[in-house]
Amino acid sequence: DQQVKQNSPSLSVQEGRISILNCDYTNSMFDYFLWYKKYPAEGPTFLISISSIKDKNEDGRFTVFLNKSAKHLSLHIVPSQPGDSAVYFCAASVAGTGANNLFFGTGTRLTVIP
């Protein structure tokens, strides 16, 4: 049972525009959320995270929004650059239990068109 879902397998955006990647989760116990970026032949790279006590976290061009009532989070990339083209994975965990395993979505392939 997929507890973290990324319903869009792919997304194409023009360079300079905003990229919005979406993620939904079903487990209300999740209280820590992360985004990872993955290039081919490399492991996922941590991008940004957010705790459930916040609804927004910003790091440069990357902003993650969390809507707990809707069990939805999104990653905004502004402005998008060709180097952002990669597969983006949303992940979630229950931070307070000592269980560290991350639950990942199936990923969204972002293509930024020059």
Partner 1 sequence: KAGVTQTPRYLIKTRGQQVTLSCSPISGHRSVSWYQQTPGQGLQFLFEYFSETQRNKGNFPGRFSGRQFSNSRSEMNVSTLELGDSALYLCASSFFLQRSTDTQYFGPGTRLTVL
Helix (H) / strand (E) containing 36? strand 32-38
**Is there binding between residue 99 and partner 1 (CB under 8 A)?**
yes
Distances (CA, A) of 101 to 22, 70, 114: 21, 23, 37
103 in contact with partner 1 (CB under 8 A): yes
33 binds partner 1 (CB under 8 A): no
Span interacting with partner 1, options 13-21, 41-49, 56-64, 67-75, rule CB under 8 A:
41-49
Q: Does 11 bind partner 1 (CB under 8 A)?
A: no
In whole angstroms, how close is the CB of 17 to partner 1 at the nearest point?
26
Determine if 106 is a binding residue for partner 1 (CB under 8 A). Answer: yes
Can residue 32 be called a binding residue for partner 1 (CB under 8 A)? Answer: yes
Stretch that binds partner 1, among 17-25, 39-47, 58-66, 67-75 (CB under 8 A): 39-47
Distance CA 109, CA 111 (A): 7
Continuous H helices in the chain: none
CA distance 42 to 36: 12
Which stretches of the chain bind partner 1, using CB under 8 A? Answer: 2, 32, 36, 41-46, 49, 51, 89, 91, 93-96, 98-107
